[in-house]
Structure formats: structure tokens, C-alpha cells
């Protein structure tokens, strides 16, 4: 208990086995108490405190969505629902189990999962790791446990892909992070089944700041899938996650997210991967929920022949703004990339594609393609495209295509003339529009995605 130098100063009298909730707002005391509760090493506490300073110094981005309604002083930054992690489904508290039953974890587990890691509020409470993973030397833990069990490995990579100073929300996450996943895949190990985690915000005005770090060692392969849903709350919630991925020589990582936060959540996530020589990094990113999402999964192509892909789907209904896209930095020669973005706006919803393709000097023979298609379901909805290209090397082949279309009356008539209702016809057109990306999802997610689109459009037409 070397870090225990401020035991009861901040009013946290709960014993280890009790539910713990930090006070509203953020100061050094809150950061210290988080670190103390987790019994972290000094370097992590210092990392957090330094990040807190950066968070205070940095201003909100002036582009993207409206962030002025986030009241940082009203938020809770740490909540711990149960103390001990459980290793089997039956050990979970009934209420939590009920919540997960609705999302369908056990079914998903039976069919596809190698390991399940479900995040409830700030803490991972349920985890089962397939023996196969352990046998192959794969580490798949929640980040808190990883820090305790593999402190050196975590220290080596933590904050190296997304530094705390990157942006205000990365700094905030670095100061108060809790939970998230840690994955290490050893050299040459390929995990054929996707690894999954489910996330959930369950307390009003509670920020969720999970931190995920994936290291795919040389020649390895892993597909990580993250799905989020959240119930509706009356006060605004903040979700500011950081995901860092290191893809070493010849390795491949695919990271799939289906985000369906309730429409009062600010979803401000920094996701970045570093791809070394001949490595492949693929982001598949679906944003359906939240009030405002600002998320631009990035790939830094630092090794020769590395490849980066971002496949992005965004849906914005009434009151929603999805500001999503991707960033690819071609630092090394012969690197290639592709960004495909499909966005749907309905009922006054707003989608923005915001992307960057940058080719550094010396990165020759670079190929990049950006395709962004927007579908508007009505006159009240809006879609914007903000593509940026910075090319500092001659001979780079960079293509960009953008389309905006509306669901046509003739398409609706055609499907209705086959006996489909208007809303069934609309959801069929929308699902067809996103099909090129949905087919990249694991089957269950593809089914769920189609169902979510149907649910969104049901009753949307008069």
C-alpha cells in the first residue's frame, strides 16, 4: 500500500467490498483516490496527475460538434459496482445478468466467443477466458488487472500511441481511466474467433473512461469486437475512451465497434493504431447512438508496406450528430490505405464525414482511396463532408469519391409494389446502402445492425 498516503481525506470510507462512487467533479483528490482504490504503481498515479494538468490546460476543439453543454464539474468520474470479478455467468448479480441477458451475452458466448469481457459501469465484472487463449500465451484481461499482473508490459506501451497531450479528451481519459481491455497476442499466434467485450453506462451523469490497449506481436492476428448499448437518462453522460493498438511486423488487427449509446451521451473517443512493416490494421466502426459522437479511428503507417483501413457507418436520427471518419498517416513508403464511410441521416439528424489522409515526405509509392457516401432520408436532415488531404510526396496515388443521395420515391414505390410497407422499404434501402460494411461484421452483429436500423425506422413514417 505504498500509494496509500491520503487514506480518508476525501471522504471515501467504504471498505473494499462496498460500492464506491467518487464525488461529483474532478480534481487531484479524485484522481488520487481512483489510483489508490486500484492500488496502482506510482508511475501510473504520476501519469494520471500529469494528464489532469494537460486536461485543464487544453481547450475544447472548436470544430466538430457542440461540446458546450458538457458540465465537467457535474460528472462522476469513478463508480465501482462490485468489488470482485466473477469468472462464470452464474456468479453475476441478478440485475447485471438481466441487463446482459437483454443484450444477449450468453447466446453470443456460446456461439462465437473465445472470451467475454463485459464492462458494467467502470469495472469489468464478468470475464471468462477460453483455455485456448491461455494455452497460446494470449493475454486478455481488463486493463486494471493487466496493470497489476503485467505492469512492465503495460508500462512499455501505455500512452505510446495516444499520448495524454493528444487532445483534451485523451488527457481526461488518461487522468481518470478505468476498465477497458488489454490484449497481448504473442508472435505468430492467430486467434480465429473474435474477442468481444460489452460496454454499458448505467448511472446518470457518469462518465465512462475505459482504456484499451492491444499489442499484436509479429505475424499474429486478432479481431476484437466491442458493442455498446445504454439506457436513456435525463442528464447528459460523457463517454471518453482511448484505444491504442500496436500492430507489429506482419501482424493484422481488426477492431470492430458497434456503438449504440442512448441519445444523451457524448461519445468522444480517441482510437489510434500504429502499424509496422507489412502490418494490417482495420477499423470497422458503427455509430448508431449517442447525442454527439466525435470519433476518427486512425492508423499511423510507420513501416514499409503497412496497410490501414477504416470502414465507418454512422446513423443520425432526431437530435443526433455523428461527426465520424478516419485518419491515415502514411509515414513509410509503399503503404496503402482505404477509408469507406457510409452515413445515414433522418428526422433532422446530422452526419459529418471528417477525414485526413496525410503522406509524409519520403513515403513514396503510397496508395490511398477514400469513399464517403451519405444517404438522407428527408429534407430536414443534414450531411457534410470535410475531407483533408496533405500530400508531401510526389507520385502518391490518392483518390477521393463522395456521393450524397436521397431515398428516391421510385425506389420506395418499387419495393412497395412488391408488398413491403413504407418503413420496411426504407429500412431495406438503408440496409442495402450499408451492406458493403455490414458484411464485414460478425454474423450476430450484422443481424443486430439490420434489426437496429429497422427499429429506428419503424414508426418513423406517417
Partner 1 sequence: MLLTVSDLHVSVENKPILRGLSLRVKSGEVHAVMGPNGSGKSTLAYAFLGHPAYTSRGKIVLNNKDISHLSTEDRAKAGLFLALQSPIAIPGVTVTNLLRAALGDNKNPSHNPILARRFVGSLPVEEFMKAVKEYAKQLHIDESFLSRGIHDGFSGGEKKKIEMLQALVLKPKFAIFDEIDTGLDVDALRIVARGIGMLSQKGTGIIIITHYQRILKYLKPDVVHILVSGKIVKTGNAELAKKIEDNGYTQFSV
Residues that bind partner 1 (CB under 8 A): 408-411, 413-422, 424, 428-429, 431-436, 447-448, 450-451
- Give the residue with the Cβ less far from partner 1, 211 or 346: 346
Distance in Å, CB of 116 to partner 1, minimum? 19
CA–CA dist 344, 348 (Å, integer): 11
Nearer of residues 83 and 454 to partner 1, judged by Cβ: 454
d(CA 366, CA 299): 14
Using the structure block, give the residue that is written with the C-alpha cell 479481431: 223
Print burial letters for 372-391: b (CB count within 10 Å at least 16), e (below 16): bbbbbbeeebebebebeeeb
Report d(CA 80, CA 1) in Å as an integer: 19
Give the shortest CB-315-to-partner 1 separation in angstroms. 15
CB of 445 to partner 1, least distance (A): 12
Q: By C-beta, is 86 or 420 nearer to partner 1? A: 420
Torsion, Cα of 354, 366, 157, 29 (10° steps): -20
Q: Which of 85, 78, 80 is nearest to 32 (CA)?
A: 78
Nearer to partner 1, 18 or 414 (CB): 414
CA triplet 312, 317, 318: central angle to 5 degrees?
A: 150
CB nearer to partner 1: pick between 183 and 428 = 428
Question: Do strands 336-345 and 367-376 pair parallel, antiparallel, or not at all (unpaired)?
Answer: parallel
Phi, psi of 96 (to 5 degrees): -65, -40
Comparing CB distances to partner 1, the nearer of 336 and 431 is: 431
Q: Which is nearer to partner 1, 144 or 448 (CB)?
A: 448
Q: How far is the CB of 384 from partner 1 (least distance, A)?
A: 22
Q: How far is the CB of 373 from partner 1 (least distance, A)?
A: 9
Nearest approach in angstroms of CB 434 to partner 1 is 7
Work out how close the CB of 438 gets to partner 1 at its nearest, in angstroms, rounded to a whole number. Answer: 9
Q: Is the Cβ of residue 43 or residue 414 nearer to partner 1 in the bound state?
A: 414
Pairing of strands 211-216, 242-247: parallel
CA dihedral 67, 70, 73, 76 (to 10 degrees): -130
* CB of residue 413 to partner 1, shortest distance in Å: 6
Smaller CB separation from partner 1, 103 or 391: 103
* Dihedral pair phi/psi, residue 461, rounded to 5°: -115, 140
Min CB(344)–partner 1 separation in Å: 12
CB of 421 to partner 1, least distance (A): 6
Residue placing its CB nearer to partner 1 in the complex, 39 or 403: 403
Shorter beta-carbon distance to partner 1: residue 113 or 191: 113
Asked whether the beta carbons of 175 and 55 are under 8 A apart, the reply is: yes
Q: Which three cell numbers stand for residue 417?
A: 409494389
Query: Which residues, listed in sequence order, are joined to residue 120 by a DSSP beta bridge?
Result: 123
Q: How far is the CB of 99 from partner 1 (least distance, A)?
A: 20
Amino acid at each position: 500500500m505504498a500509494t496509500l498516503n491520503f487514506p480518508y481525506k476525501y471522504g471515501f470510507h467504504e471498505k473494499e467490498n462496498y460500492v464506491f462512487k467518487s464525488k461529483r467533479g474532478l480534481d487531484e483528490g479524485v484522481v488520487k483516490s481512483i489510483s489508490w482504490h486500484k492500488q496502482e504503481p506510482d508511475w501510473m498515479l504520476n501519469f494520471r496527475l500529469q494528464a489532469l494538468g494537460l486536461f485543464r490546460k487544453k481547450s475544447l476543439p472548436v470544430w466538430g460538434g457542440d461540446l458546450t453543454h458538457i458540465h465537467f464539474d457535474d460528472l462522476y468520474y469513478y463508480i465501482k459496482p462490485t468489488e470482485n470479478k466473477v469468472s462464470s455467468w452464474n456468479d453475476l448479480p441478478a440485475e447485471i445478468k438481466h441487463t446482459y441477458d437483454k443484450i444477449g451475452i450468453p447466446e453470443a458466448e456460446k456461439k462465437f466467443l473465445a472470451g467475454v469481457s463485459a464492462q458494467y459501469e467502470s469495472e469489468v465484472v464478468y470475464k471468462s477466458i477460453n483455455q485456448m487463449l491461455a494455452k497460446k500465451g494470449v493475454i486478455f484481461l481488463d486493463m486494471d488487472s493487466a496493470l497489476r499482473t503485467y505492469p512492465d508490459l503495460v508500462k512499455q506501451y501505455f500512452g505510446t500511441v495516444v499520448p495524454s497531450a493528444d487532445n483534451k479528451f485523451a488527457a481526461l481519459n488518461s487522468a481518470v481511466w478505468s476498465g477497458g481491455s488489454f490484449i497481448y497476442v504473442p508472435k505468430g499466434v492467430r486467434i480465429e474467433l473474435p474477442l468481444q467485450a460489452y460496454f454499458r453506462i448505467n448511472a446518470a451523469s457518469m462518465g465512462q473512461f475505459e482504456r484499451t490497449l492491444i499489442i499484436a506481436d509479429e505475424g499474429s492476428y486478432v479481431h476484437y469486437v466491442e458493442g455498446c448499448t445504454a439506457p436513456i437518462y435525463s442528464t447528459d453522460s460523457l463517454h471518453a475512451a482511448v484505444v491504442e493498438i500496436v500492430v507489429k511486423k506482419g501482424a493484422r488487427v481488426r477492431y470492430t465497434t458497434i456503438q449504440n449509446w442512448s441519445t444523451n451521451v457524448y461519445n468522444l473517443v480517441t482510437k489510434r493504431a500504429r502499424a509496422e512493416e507489412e502490418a494490417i490494421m482495420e477499423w470497422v466502426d458503427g455509430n448508431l447512438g449517442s447525442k454527439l459522437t466525435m470519433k476518427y479511428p486512425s492508423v499511423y503507417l510507420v513501416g514499409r508496406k503497412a496497410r490501414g483501413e477504416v470502414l465507418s457507418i454512422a446513423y443520425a436520427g432526431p437530435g443526433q450528430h455523428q461527426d465520424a471518419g478516419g485518419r491515415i498517416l502514411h509515414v513509410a513508403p509503399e503503404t496503402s490505405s482505404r477509408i469507406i464511410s457510409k452515413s445515414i441521416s433522418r428526422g433532422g439528424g446530422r452526419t459529418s464525414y471528417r477525414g485526413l489522409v496525410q503522406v509524409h515526405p519520403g513515403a513514396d509509392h503510397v496508395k490511398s482511396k477514400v469513399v464517403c457516401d451519405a444517404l438522407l432520408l428527408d429534407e430536414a436532415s443534414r450531411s457534410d463532408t470535410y475531407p483533408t488531404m496533405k500530400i508531401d510526396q510526389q507520385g502518391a496515388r490518392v483518390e477521393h469519391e463522395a456521393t450524397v443521395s436521397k431515398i428516391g420515391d421510385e425506389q420506395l414505390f418499387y419495393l412497395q409494389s412488391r408488398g413491403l410497407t413504407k418503413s420496411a422499404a426504407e429500412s431495406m434501402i438503408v440496409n442495402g446502402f450499408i451492406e458493403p460494411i455490414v458484411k464485414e461484421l460478425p454474423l450476430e452483429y450484422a443481424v443486430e445492425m439490420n434489426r437496429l436500423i429497422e427499429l429506428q425506422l419503424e414508426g418513423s413514417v406517417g
